[in-house]
Every structure is written in structure tokens, then in C-alpha cells.
């Protein structure tokens, strides 16, 4: 369980995040929506320990992790799948996965590798091929798989569908749902609001660093202001 309480983050004079509160629970997908520059990535990066918070708290399973370095946060069970996938192109698929498991003991990492291959058979098929030869969608699966290698209880995902062909977007969203169904708590930033709302359980809408809507996805889908902002006027008359 992840709880973000009244988080404030600044880059110099720019107040990128101004009092964001949100949570993610096991088996559930919390979708984070918001315009460009709203502070979505900054929120994720701060929770993952890559950017310092000015104030506020990040609580992981009852333990305050704010201000701790990123690698110890991974060890505690929270991992970020960054925007743009960032796989190591010249390394093989399996080498990429093993890098994600470096925080785990060796024996456990072999077991986790098997589980990742079970979840993403395409990665098993391509295990000895260079990661750079995978399609965008497959690289996203690899980025998920690499994150899963640290046996997280909470996963943060920054725009997993960005730049993917429409057919791939659906399978990536299927994978996101599957990861949540494995009991992991997910906080997912997505530009594709329409598809995002289809798989989300909870929704947080951020504007200029502040939360302007927070509730169940069902409620977001029927809230005119959320629908208008992210899906357009046409969706309201459907
Ligand atoms: N490294 C940085 N240094 C200075 N300002 C930054 C930095 N990263 C982001 N910002 C600023 O902080 C604010 C929030 O940016 P952030 O990347 O968190 O937004 P976002 O919601 O993820 O946007 P996008 O949809 O474009 O990914 C913006 O005003 C942005 O210009
Ligand atoms: Mg962003």
C-alpha cells in the first residue's frame, strides 16, 4: 500500500507539485491524469526517491520513505517504470531482466525470472536477442518485466503507452491489468485517458501541481468535468 500525503516538490523557483495526495492499493490501478507539465512525472520521480520533496510524506506499507535514496526504496518494494522504457539496447532481453533483479538474492532471482517469462512469453522467446531489436510494445513489456524482477509490492508507471502503435497499446494495457491482478499496487500516469479509464480502479486528476479530482474510476467516467477535460465534449452525449 502506497500513500502520498500533501507532497510538494520544486525545481528551483518552479513549484512543480503543490500538495498532491494519492494512494495505491494492492491489486488496484490508480490512474493519474493531467495535462502536459501538470506535475505527474515529478510526483512519480519523487515517490521513487529520484527527486527530493520540499514537504509532505510518502508512506509505503506504513513506513515513511520520503527522502530515502532510490535504491533503498526499490529494496523496500517500490519500483518506477520510467517514461520511454529505457531498456539497454545492446544487452540481451535476459541481461536486461537480470539487471532489474540485482537487489534480490540469486536463488530468488531465478524464480522471479521464471515468473516474468510466464507472464510475458514473448520475452522468453526473445531471451537471447538484443533488447534493441524488440518492438516498442515488446520493450515496454521488458521494462515491466525488469521492474517485476525486484519483486515489488508497488509499481509506478510513467506513460507506458507513449509512442506505441494502437494495437500494441491494448496489449500493454492488458499487461498492466495483469500486473495489478497479481496483487501489486499500481500508480499509472497515462495520456490515453479513454483506455486508461477502462482499466483503472481509482483516478487522480492533477492540474498545475494540484489534485483537482480524486475518486473511483466509475465516478471519474461519469464526472462531466473529468470527461470534458480528457475525452472531449462528444463523450458526454454518448
Ligand atoms: N528537471 C527539471 N527542471 C526544472 N523544471 C522541471 C524539470 N522537470 C520538470 N520541470 C517542470 O516541472 C513541471 C512539472 O513537470 P512534469 O514533468 O512533472 O509534468 P508532467 O505532468 O509529467 O508533464 P508531461 O505530460 O509533459 O509528461 C513543469 O512545469 C516542468 O516544466
Ligand atoms: Mg511526464
Confidence of residue 234 (pLDDT cuts 50, 70, 90): low
Give the Cβ contact number of residue 209 at 10 Å.
23
Please choose from 17, 20, 37 the residue to mutate so as to test ligand 1's pocket, defined by most ligand atoms within 8 A of CB: 37
Mean pLDDT of the chain: 93
CB contact at 8 A, 141 and 118: no
∠ Cα 167 169 172 (to 5°): 120
Residue 116: its pLDDT value, please?
95
Split into its structural domains, the chain has a count of: 1
73 CA distance to ligand 1 middle (Å): 22
125 CA distance to ligand 2 middle (Å): 32
Confidence of residue 92 (pLDDT cuts 50, 70, 90): very high
Atom of ligand 1 nearest to the CA of 191: 25
The CATH number given to whatever domain includes residue 219 is 3.40.50.300
Residue 236: its pLDDT value, please?
64
Ligand nearest, relative to CA of residue 11:
1
Domain region containing 111: 2-236
Confidence of residue 45 (pLDDT cuts 50, 70, 90): very high
Q: Whose CA is nearest to atom 27 of ligand 1?
A: 36
Amino acid at each position: 500500500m502506497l500513500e502520498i500525503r500533501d507532497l510538494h516538490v520544486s525545481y528551483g523557483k518552479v513549484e512543480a507539485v503543490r500538495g498532491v495526495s494519492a494512494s495505491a492499493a494492492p491489486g488496484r490501478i490508480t490512474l493519474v491524469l493531467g495535462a502536459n507539465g501538470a506535475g505527474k512525472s515529478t510526483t512519480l520521480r519523487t515517490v521513487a526517491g529520484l527527486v527530493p520533496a520540499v514537504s509532505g510524506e510518502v508512506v509505503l506499507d506504513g513506513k515513511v520513505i520520503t527522502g530515502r535514496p532510490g535504491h533503498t526504496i526499490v529494496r523496500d518494494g517500490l519500483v518506477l517504470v520510467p517514461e520511454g522504457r529505457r531498456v539497454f539496447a545492446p544487452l540481451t532481453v535476459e541481461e536486461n531482466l537480470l539487471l532489474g533483479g540485482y537487489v534480490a538474492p540469486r536463488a530468488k532471482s531465478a524464480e522471479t525470472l521464471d515468473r516474468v517469462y510466464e507472464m510475458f512469453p514473448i520475452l522468453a522467446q526473445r531471451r537471447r536477442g538484443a533488447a534493441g531489436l524488440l518492438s516498442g510494445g515488446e520493450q515496454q513489456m521488458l521494462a515491466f518485466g525488469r521492474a517485476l524482477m525486484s519483486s515489488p509490492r508497488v509499481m509506478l508507471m510513467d506513460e507506458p503507452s507513449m509512442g506505441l502503435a494502437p494495437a500494441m497499446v491494448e496489449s500493454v494495457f492488458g499487461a498492466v491489468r495483469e500486473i495489478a491482478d497479481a496483487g501489486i499496487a499500481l500508480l499509472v500516469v497515462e495520456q490515453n485517458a479513454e483506455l486508461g479509464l477502462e482499466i483503472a480502479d481509482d483516478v487522480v486528476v492533477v492540474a498545475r501541481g494540484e489534485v483537482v479530482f480524486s475518486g473511483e474510476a466509475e465516478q471519474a467516467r461519469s464526472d462531466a468535468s473529468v470527461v470534458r477535460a480528457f475525452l472531449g465534449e462528444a463523450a458526454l452525449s454518448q
